[in-house]
Amino acid sequence: MKKVRVALIGAGVMANSVHYPSLVEMEDVEILGLCDLIPEKLKVTAEKFKISQTFTDYKEMLAKTSPDAVYILMPPHHLFDIVIFCLQNGLHIFIEKPPGITLNQTKEMAKLAEKKAVFTMVSFQRRFAPVMVKAKEIVREKSEILQCQANFFKYYSGGPYYNGAVDILTCDAIHSVDILRWMAGEVKKVCGSVRALFADYDNSFNALLEFENGAIGFLSTNWVSGKRIYSVEMHARGIVAFVDPEDKAIIYKDGKEEPKILLSKEVAQSNQLHKFAGFYSENRHFIDCIKEKKLPETNFSDAVKTMELVERIYRSQV
């Protein structure tokens, strides 16, 4: 079995909790080295995943390990220069969302990735959550999606993200923007509402979307609600699915009272977060695409479209 040789940049929470646990389970992945600027985080993560080579300079790591692909997992405002350097050196790249802090950054990354003919991926993992995939398959077997909704609410009392380096819609609520595209395709028209509720920064984002195929979508998010809730709805002729990717899908057909219920952990055949929430599947997809020499689903060029939709929501306010 040919192994994909991977180098890792970043030893933060997401890296430790979902991405690196996914990679170490894959027999066709070889982790060559880990880089982080904080020695203690570097040491703890390296020991946890049995990574022998550690670095505080990512350029030194790449020169000494010669990987096929690089995972760059860090705050979005620290991302761009590292991604560009890796792209210039012809390396395949996996990053967390968002793909930079501006649409222009994402476009530049996508252009260079295409020029260098490398494979890239952005972590929009809800597209890959097993129960989400299964629910969409069941709905689409019945009919094309006619209406969809993405809901994302949080109770958040902190200040602007990263002291204002990036806005909430681009950084976090972008998950809901992206999943609307995944459910119904590209967007023709947008009518948005962006508000600052009980804060001096925007924390409420809502939009009505008309897709190119005629479907209608709704974005419903705010960061002042009573609890963290992420859910989607998929409506088609004679069928509707209500899905929380980390819990279950409830599917009603043809007016019947009894729903079909799909439990996330049962569909994923695992009670581990990185499995049932979609992180393992997206990492598996990235590695498979490198081996099969095909473009991953959430590549940088596709991420440009999601970032463009974010910008359109801001521009199209009521």
Asked whether residue 1 carries a pLDDT value surpassing 80, the answer given is no
Asked whether residue 241 carries a pLDDT value surpassing 80, the answer given is yes
Distance, CA of 212 to CA of 226 (rounded, Å): 34
Q: What is the share, in percent, of the chain residues with pLDDT greater than 90?
A: 99
Asked whether residue 33 carries a pLDDT value surpassing 70, the answer given is yes
Domains of the chain: 4-124 (3.40.50.720), 126-271+300-315 (3.30.360.10)
Each residue's pLDDT tens digit, 259-295: 999 999 999 999 999 999 999 999 999 999 999 999 9
Note the pLDDT of residue 245.
Answer: 97
Angstrom CA distances, 295 to 120, 218, 231, 280, 286, stand at 7, 29, 28, 18, 9
SS3 194: strand
Euclidean distance between the first and the last CA atom of the chain, given in angstroms as a whole number:
55
Asked whether residue 25 carries a pLDDT value surpassing 70, the answer given is yes
Distance, CA of 152 to CA of 245 (rounded, Å): 12
Q: β-pairing, 69-72 with 4-9?
A: parallel
Average pLDDT over residues 39-66: 97
Each residue's pLDDT tens digit, 105-154: 999 999 999 999 999 999 999 999 999 999 999 999 999 999 999 999 99
CB 168 within 8 A of CB 205: yes
Residue 190 amino acid letter: V
Asked whether residue 10 carries a pLDDT value surpassing 90, the answer given is yes
What are the backbone dihedrals phi and psi of residue 308, each rounded to the nearest 5 degrees, phi first?
A: -65, -40
Distance, CA of 88 to CA of 20 (rounded, Å): 25
Q: How many CB atoms within 10 Å of residue 129?
A: 26
CB 286 within 8 A of CB 278: no
CB 289 within 8 A of CB 119: yes
Q: Is the dihedral of CA 4, 69, 179, 75 positive or negative?
A: positive
Each residue's pLDDT tens digit, 69-118: 999 999 999 999 999 999 999 999 999 999 999 999 999 999 999 999 99
Note the pLDDT of residue 161.
Answer: 97
Higher pLDDT, 318 or 230: 230
Average pLDDT over residues 222-240: 98
Average pLDDT over residues 26-31: 98
Which residue in 138, 132, 137, 124 sits closest to 177, CA to CA?
124
pLDDT bucket at 318, cuts 50 / 70 / 90 = confident
